Amino acid sequence: MSNNILTSRMLQTARFNLEMAAAKLKLGKTSLIRLIEPKEKIELTLHPKLSTTKYPGIKAYVVRHSDTLGPAKGGIRMSPGVTLQDVEGLAMEMTWKTSLIEVPFGGGKSGVCCDPAALSADDKEIIIRSYTRGAVRHIGPEIYVPAPDMGTNEADMGHIRDCLAYSAGKSITSGCYVTGKPVLLGGIVGRREATGKGVIYCLMRACERLGMKFSQAAIAVQGFGNVGSVAAQFAAEMGAKIIAVSDISGGTMNRSGLDIGKVCEHIRKTGKLAGFAGGRDITNAELIAADCDILIPAATQSQITEANCAEIKAKIIAEGANGPTEPKADDILEQKNIFVIPDILCNAGGVFVSYLEYTQETQREQMTIEEVNERLNRRMCKKFDEVYEYSKTNKMTMRQAAMCIAVSRVVAATDARGALP
């Protein structure tokens, strides 16, 4: 085991959750060591030729945490503060997510250390292409298959695919090298909405099982990026009341329900959420403490901490983000009897539809939106039920149950593969 000091709260949370599951499963030390350390971690320094000289050398990271169940899978995070340790923690989370949702992938993640909001579209494309060239030996349908994550999107995935096909001197890549691409370039319909929709499918199932009426629920959503905005929109379509949303600029609240279409329009016009006329401005702290039935943290990691979780009034927390709840907060939430749907279950819809894209591209098939959504809903409900039953039978929280199921699948596959080449 490495002796590096853990400076990343994301990695601390990921390791804590793994050690918790290992203790519950009574895993031996050797098995635990194999699961803690990533299989491979790469640090790149990119020197893209940008229109500004703001970024003289951009750090980028690729971590393949595990490929026991299949090629490493996970998105590319573009953010100014992302560290190698964050990427390591996020890659580990992907291993449990793909295992739990039962797609034949391992876990990986990439990080590109720059601020997408401060880049022109051209400069962002140059950086993404530069990352692709730098990471080319580590990307492939049988190695690591990237996808969008915070700060990256469909267009970026299109550039990655183009860059790889171009280098191979072909029109298409042979097999699926990247998911979350534009539909015209071999992407799948519904992938962009899949994570947010999956959160709501999972929540609706949770309400059913817990005897709550989803259509009467008041919901607060932290984060209005690809996950939060789609989750808010879809929840409203399904009849729930969105009473508060927030983004990096601040939040807005309306106890009679926000018109999410109008919120989106306001953001399109002004570039930020704060100042929305259909609600009153609130802070992020007010959003977390909002008087609601369901809280969806869909922003980033380490948002629900020991310091603010006592304020939470929601009965259910549905983790749209990766690692939004820190372990100490988890204990307090358990004491408060708040039902937490953990990230590796709740936001697994994105990677599930990435898997559909992977199979579609391999077979050069085309799925319809109805088929994608139907399969997504079915898988989210099935997995929710599995985790819920396990948590009841073994008297565990949903996170403990999800982690135990996910880790034991990876351990069983490791044993099945054996120790010798």
User: Based on CB atoms, which residue is closest to ligand GLU, 22 or 351?
Assistant: 351
Q: For the CA atoms of 158, 246, 7, 129, what is the dihedral angle to 10 degrees?
A: 10
Could you tell me the smallest distance in angstroms from the CB atom of residue 98 to ligand GLU?
Answer: 8
Q: Kindly write down the DSSP assignment for every residue of 40-105, as one continuous string.
A: EEEEEEE----SS-S-SSEEEEEEEEE-SSSSEE--EEE-TT--HHHHHHHHHHHHHHHHHHT-S-
306 close to 327: Cβ distance less than 8 angstroms:
no
Could you tell me the smallest distance in angstroms from the CB atom of residue 181 to ligand GLU?
Answer: 11
- By CB under 6 A, tell whether 13 contacts ligand GLU: no
Could you tell me the smallest distance in angstroms from the CB atom of residue 420 to ligand GLU?
Answer: 30
User: Based on CB atoms, which residue is closest to ligand GLU, 201 or 276?
Assistant: 201
188 close to 349: Cβ distance less than 8 angstroms:
no
308 close to 287: Cβ distance less than 8 angstroms:
no
> Among residues 121, 113, 130, 35, which one has the least CA distance to residue 79?
113
- By CB under 6 A, tell whether 147 contacts ligand GLU: yes
Contacting ligand GLU (CB under 6 A), which of 67, 86, 102, 149? 149
Q: How many C-alpha atoms does 373 have within 13 Å on its Cβ side?
A: 12
Contacting ligand GLU (CB under 6 A), which of 38, 70, 75, 106? 75
Among residues 97, 109, 197, 241, which one is catalytic?
109
- Region 86-125 residues binding ligand GLU, contact defined as CB under 6 A: 97
Tell me if residue 41 is catalytic: no
- Region 315-344 residues binding ligand GLU, contact defined as CB under 6 A: 322
Q: For the CA atoms of 215, 376, 295, 226, what is the dihedral angle to 10 degrees?
A: -120
- By CB under 6 A, tell whether 79 contacts ligand GLU: no
Contacting ligand GLU (CB under 6 A), which of 13, 68, 110, 179? 179
- Residues 194-223, mask of contacts with ligand GLU (x by CB under 6 A): ------------------------------
147 close to 116: Cβ distance less than 8 angstroms:
no
Residues near ligand GLU, by CB under 6 A: 73-75, 97, 147, 149, 179, 322, 347, 350-351, 354
What residues are labeled active site?
Answer: 109
